Amino acid sequence: MRENGKPTLLTRRHFLASGVAMAGTIPFLPITQAGAAPNPRTAKIRLTAGTRTLAVNGKPARVFGLIGPNGKPGITLSSSERFHVDLVNQAGASTIIHWHGQLPPWIQDGFPWPQTPPISAGDTRSYDYAPITGTFWMHSHQGMQEQSLMTAPLIVYSAEDMRADRRDVVLMLHDFSFHPPEELLAGLTKSNGSQSAMPKTGMGNKSMNMGEGSMGAMNMGSGMAMDLNDIDYDAFLANDRTFADPEIVRTEPGGRVRLRVINAASSTQFWIDLGALTGTVIAADGHPVRPVRDTRLPLAIAQRLDVLIDLPGNGTYPIFAQVEGKRARTGIVLAASGAPVSRLAAEAGENALPVDLSLERRLAAVTPLAPRAPDVTHRVIFAGAMAPYAWSLNGEYWPEVTPLIIATGQRVAIEMVNQSTMAHPMHLHGHAFQVIALNGAPLAGAVRDTVLVPPMGSVTIAFDADNPGRWAFHCHNLYHMMTGMMTEVRYSAIM
Ligand SMILES: [Cu+2]
């Protein structure tokens, strides 16, 4: 194991390559002979859904957690491992965990369909599928547990990751409130238009003034007001810590870092600001993209970015995540061994702009879909309002929805048309889609699992129907989803 580096995982292939006998009755070496490296896993991985206490702004906060076999949040797999997991529910409440962006059979997806009900407190459920490599995450799909941090990283190393000499750094973002999520939601749904009685749909709100308070409003130059943060959070967390007491990652001078940023917030979008550094984006939502270099990167809710960073020297380099529309920020610090780390200002000098499609427009998949015209195109209209607070797809509110029907073997396109003044990060379960148009302009974009549809904008995605089942398709803003912004993509052969 390299000090200050990614633990060297030994795979079955490494054992074979090193000439260690794998045959016979010895399935793997005892850990004492393998040094500090973990054994190649032939047994199940134990993942425990439970509760834990964090310190936030100097106060204790009781939250959920998903703790892996090494006592740390989440699961990290080497390239040859299966996702062979026993999920043990010790959370004291029923739960169900979704493996966000992974492509398992639908009954292992972690969504509370009638056929796959939540796991009762005290029970265990087993999972076994072949994972895809990249930066993923896991979160509860039960009630509003996600807001109470029932979330964790899910990282699957590629064979190249296993060989590369670079530091692997996960940066997981959260929004945090000391108020229970049900109370936050009630504050929105019971709001009697004190902020604005105007619907967020369509036209007619050009003079909308959102005023002071928890919501941000931005004039987009066209006279159209755009709404940002619905919830007034108490803190923004990076790897469970605020920027007043950030995680400090000690790095090798001049070393290379693979930064895996995960936006696990329930209702907050960020700009990732590399400060003095320039990064190279190499993957979006776990799927490789052609390299794009930049220092400020928009990250919608539930999205991930993998960024390669060459550290220029032996200094200290903060990585900021600034909330869109606000000065508030969180982050971590990359610091060479021995380099001093001074206290960082909790707020940026200026409000951040709204997260937008400026990066999406520049992304192109390394492995795009094969050229093919869609066999079926579904058009989905987004609408919603602050008073009453509710968000819909094609005028329908979950669970009273009409499924989008597709069939195995089809090339499917979904055209999403946003007729509201909020941006919606849309996530499709069970498939990786390619972004093929932004605001009507064709694009051979990224392959990913979550895409932002901007206010009054449109985005078209396409995918091959190769994973039969019932699949959720929803806005990943938790408060939008909870008030209706979810539907089903269903294969016609199911049910
Ligand atoms: Cu939304």
Per-residue H/E/C for 241-274:
ECCCCCCEEEECCCCEEEEEEEECCCCCCEEEEC
pLDDT of residue 391: 97
H or E stretch at 140: strand 134-140
Per DSSP, 163 falls in state H
pLDDT score, position 42:
56
- At 385 the pLDDT is 82
Name which of 302, 324, 252 is nearest 429 in CA terms: 302
**Distance between Cα 421 and ligand 1 center (Å):** 10
- Report CA(282)–ligand 1 centroid distance (Å): 27
CA of 369 to the centre of ligand 1 (A): 27
User: Residue 453 Cα, ligand 1 centroid: separation in angstroms?
Assistant: 9
Report how far ligand 1's centroid is from the alpha carbon of 301 (Å): 10
For residue 191, the tally of other CB atoms under 10 A from its CB is: 16
Query: For residue 477, how far is its CA from the centre of ligand 1 (angstroms)?
Result: 5
pLDDT under 70: residue ranges of the chain = 1-43, 191-226, 495
420 CA from centroid of ligand 1 (Å): 9
pLDDT at residue 253, rounded to an integer = 85
Q: How far is the CA of 436 from the centre of ligand 1 (A)?
A: 20
Q: How far is the CA of 384 from the centre of ligand 1 (A)?
A: 9
CA pair distance 174, 236, nearest whole angstrom: 6
Q: How far is the CA of 294 from the centre of ligand 1 (A)?
A: 27
Q: State the residue for tokens 């959102």.
A: 210
d(CA 389, CA 387): 5
Query: The whole model's pTM is what?
Result: 0.87
Give 21 Cα–ligand 1 centroid separation in angstroms.
Answer: 54
Neighbours of ion ligand 1 (CB under 5 A): 424, 475, 477, 480
pLDDT at 19: 29
Query: Residue 415 Cα, ligand 1 centroid: separation in angstroms?
Result: 16
**In angstroms, what is the span from residue 484 Cα to ligand 1's centroid?**
10
**pLDDT score recorded for residue 290:** 98
3-class SS of residue 185:
helix
Strands 256-263, 167-176: pairing kind: parallel
CA of 216 to the centre of ligand 1 (A): 15
Tokens of 217: 């409003």
Calculate how far, in angstroms, residue 486's C-alpha sits from the geometric centre of ligand 1. Answer: 9
CA distance 190 to 334: 43
Q: What are the residues whose beta carbons fall under 8 Å from the beta carbon of 20, sequence distance 6 or more?
A: 29
Confidence at residue 343, expressed as pLDDT on a 0 to 100 scale: 87
User: What spacing in Å lies between the alpha carbon of 341 and ligand 1's midpoint?
Assistant: 38
Ligand 1 centroid from CA 207, angstroms = 22
CA atoms within 13 A on the CB side of 226: 21
483 Cα to the center of ligand 1, angstroms: 10
For residue 201, the CA-to-ligand 1 centroid distance in Å is 13
Cα 447 to middle of ligand 1, angstroms: 21
If you measure from the C-alpha of residue 475 to the centroid of ligand 1, how many angstroms do you get, rounded to a whole number?
5
What separation, in Å, do the N-terminal and C-terminal C-alpha atoms of the chain show? 50
398 by DSSP, 3-state: which? coil
Predicted pLDDT of residue 386: 82
The total of other beta-carbon atoms located within 10 Å of residue 203's CB is: 9
**216 closest CA partner among 108, 77, 355:** 355
